[in-house]
Structure 1
Amino acid sequence: MPLTPEVLTALGEVVAWLGSLDVSFATDEEPWFTIDGVESPRQIGSDGSGGAVILLPPQNVLYVSSEGRAGVIADSFDAFIQLVVARPYWLDILKFSAGGDLQEMRRAADALEATLDDEDDVNEAREEIRSALDLPEASDPVGALYEAVAASDAIVRATDGSPFTTLFNRFSIDSNPMLRNAAA
């Protein structure tokens, strides 16, 4: 049976473990954005920074940040959960992507993994989620994230009609001393 938001939310312990990785599946919020060609966006989750996780037809997962950035981040709900488990700091990988450079994203992922604050807690969450969902480890989560964002053609707009920008940000890990040192 494929993983769906409904199947996942029925598994309270897994939802709690995902919450420790900064993804919440409790959604009662009205959308504060529109998506061209999508009449009623289906928000399935959110993160601690106020971003929304949207399930688009057929199964693409769109992320809309509270800072005016948006894009498809996974081609399926399964791939989204694999991304969150493998790289819970996926949004930071995009922040330090140097405008969408895959090699820079890989450097950022390695540096971010090296600087995890609660590595034991994150690893325990990863193991518990993978075990409960019988979820295989993602073979290349950074590459899949890059491909999804690069191919994203969803146009998300603020309530005033202005379009959101790409999730790729211009920073690199070299602009952050902690990450630069972790990468050395």
Structure 2
Amino acid sequence: MPLTPEVLTAQGEVVAWLGSLDVSFATEDEPWFTIDGVENPRQIGSDGCGGTFVLLPSRNVLYVSSEGRAGIIAGTFEAFIQLFVAHPYWLDILKFSAGGDLAEMRRAADALEATLDQEDDVNAAREEIRGSLDLPDADDPIEALYEAVATSDVIVRATDGSPFTTLFNRFSIDNNRMLRNAAA
């Protein structure tokens, strides 16, 4: 059976473990944005930064940040969960992507993972989620994230009609002393 939001939310313990990775699947909020060509966006969750996850009619998962950035982050709901399990700091990978450079995203992922080495809670959550969902590891979640964001053609607009910008940010880990040192 394919992994869907309904299958996932029926497993309360898995939802709780995902919550420890900063994703919530309880959302009743009205959208504070519009998506060109999508009448009723299906919000499936949110994160602690005020961002929203939307399952599009195409089955892609869209992320809309509270900071005016948006883009597709996964081709399927299962790929979305695989991304969260592999890289719960996926948004920081995009922040430190040097404008959408795949090699820089890999550097950022390595540095961010190094800062988690002592985080037993994250590793326990990963194991529990994978085991409970019988979730295979993604082949290359960083490349999948890169491709999803780079090819995202969805236009999200704020309530005033202005379009959101890409999720790629201009920073690299060299702009952050902790991450630069972790990568060394």
User: Structure 2 length normalisation: TM-score?
Assistant: 0.99
Trace 1:139-150 onto structure 2 (pairs within 5 A).
Answer: 139-150=139-150
1:111: which partner in 2?
111
- 1:127 and 2:142 aligned: no
How many pairs are equivalent?
184
SS of 1:121 mapped into structure 2: helix
1:37: which partner in 2?
37
SS of 1:147 mapped into structure 2: helix
Gaps of 5+ in 1: none
| Letter of the structure 2 residue corresponding to residue 121 of structure 1 | D
2:47: which partner in 1?
47
2:160: which partner in 1?
160
| Letter of the structure 1 residue corresponding to residue 69 of structure 2 | R
Shift of the alpha carbon at 1:118?
5.4
- 1:68 and 2:68 aligned: yes
Query: Cα RMSD between the aligned structures?
Result: 0.8
SS of 1:57 mapped into structure 2: coil
| Letter of the structure 1 residue corresponding to residue 98 of structure 2 | A
Cα 1:168–1:82, aligned 2, differ >3 Å: closer, same or farther?
Answer: same
Deviations 1:49-97 (CA, angstroms, capped at 9, x unpaired): 0000000012100000000000000000000000000000000000000
Tell me how far apart the structure 2 counterparts of residues 42 and 176 of structure 1 sit (CA, whole Å).
35
Shift of the alpha carbon at 1:119?
1.7
Cα 1:19–1:117, aligned 2, differ >3 Å: closer, same or farther?
Answer: farther
User: Structure 1 length normalisation: TM-score?
Assistant: 0.99
| Letter of the structure 2 residue corresponding to residue 37 of structure 1 | G
2:85: which partner in 1?
85
| Letter of the structure 1 residue corresponding to residue 53 of structure 2 | V
Percent identity of paired positions between Structure 1 and Structure 2 = 84
1:22: which partner in 2?
22
| Letter of the structure 1 residue corresponding to residue 14 of structure 2 | V
| Letter of the structure 2 residue corresponding to residue 66 of structure 1 | S
1:56: which partner in 2?
56
Gaps of 5+ in 2: none
Tell me how far apart the structure 1 counterparts of residues 3 and 117 of structure 2 sit (CA, whole Å).
29
Deviations 1:98-149 (CA, angstroms, capped at 9, x unpaired): 0000000000000000012752110000000000000001111100000000
1:171: which partner in 2?
171
| Letter of the structure 1 residue corresponding to residue 17 of structure 2 | W
